[in-house]
Amino acid sequence: VQDGSDVLVYSDQHRLVRVDPAAPQSVNAGDKTGTLPGGADRVLSNGGYVAFLNTGSGLLQGGTVRDAASGRLQTVVAGSGGTSSGRKADGFAAAALTERGDIWGVTSAGVLVTYSLTERKRTAHTKTGLRLAGGGTDQLTVFDRHWAVLETPATGAPTLYLDGRKSSVAVDRSARLARASAQADTLAIATAQGLRRLDAAGASHGARTKATGAPAEPVYLGSCLYAAWGDGAQTTVSACGRVQSLAGSPQRGQDAKLAFMINGGTVALNETANGVVWLQAGKHRWKLVRSSLDWTATDDQQVAASTQQDQEASTNQCPVPATGAAAQFGVRPGQLASLPVLIGATDPNRGDVVT
């Protein structure tokens, strides 16, 4: 999550670290790594704002990226009168965050709450009549002055609600609603078959975009809509209506996990499963960040080191003794001199250290 020079790095192990550009550090540094606020398992970012949702407890917090880095977050309360009763029904099942700093949250009991991070207050509290099972699979988004919920049960097909009304639009379990946008005039939904846009009444808007693979969450930047799909061997991106395959797509198997990252006007597409990154270098041009192909997970490095040690141990099962030859040095009286005393020592065994 980034806003200007304020950067937060988080992982699916619920770890969080603040990155200081003036003092680089390892994201694995134990004394610098904390847990996600409130034990969150969902992180929402948009513009200069970030929100954290714990789908188990229903706790929802948010603030600017800078506030989050310093631990100054605001808590969104769903209970009537702006208080929390502690009941599970008052906990949020899904949330959305707009680029203007407005948090939208819907509870399992169907209460829709909006909260302004800039005004630091709740701005709406509405009973919608929805009943959500929760479990962390439901999605909420905002477009223009409308909202949509995609309820995904443990089994069966998802159900789409537009402004609280059940829609007849059918989507599969891979469906991803677009990131909330106060400027968007339509709802975008990406599925394993492509991209479609709907108006607030559920009618199709414009032509469908055909693509295959695991979809990323679509995002709006101004009037331009971005979407992406990965199928294990190919990455496809749609930017402002133009679809193309990205060069340098690595072989990843079937576990593609694509996500768009936006900082100001810069758009990046990140394959979060292995760290590969593409940057938008023009309206319809994407550039692979070559260095991202070389990133190696710590676990992989440890496995490689262990394998190397095993190979060396196997090679040296019948070691040959080290040998040494006399060495002569010339020095000047009264001056310090470094003597490489092991210059004549040799050891033919791979991996041995001569001391």
Q: What is the rounded CA–CA span in Å between residue 176 and residue 258?
A: 12
Instruction: Give pLDDT, residue 306.
Output: 56
Instruction: Give pLDDT, residue 330.
Output: 65
DSSP letter (8 states) at residue 136? S
Instruction: Give pLDDT, residue 252.
Output: 52
Instruction: Give pLDDT, residue 86.
Output: 47
Instruction: Give pLDDT, residue 141.
Output: 98
Given a cut of 50, the residues of the chain with pLDDT beneath it are 81-86, 299, 301, 303-304
> H-helix or E-strand containing 182?
none
Q: What tokens appear for 63 in the block?
A: 């603030």
Instruction: Give pLDDT, residue 326.
Output: 75
Instruction: Give pLDDT, residue 148.
Output: 97
Q: What tokens appear for 48 in the block?
A: 């200069």
Which of 206, 293, 208, 189 is CA-nearest to residue 246?
Answer: 293
Q: What is the rounded CA–CA span in Å between residue 164 and residue 147?
A: 8
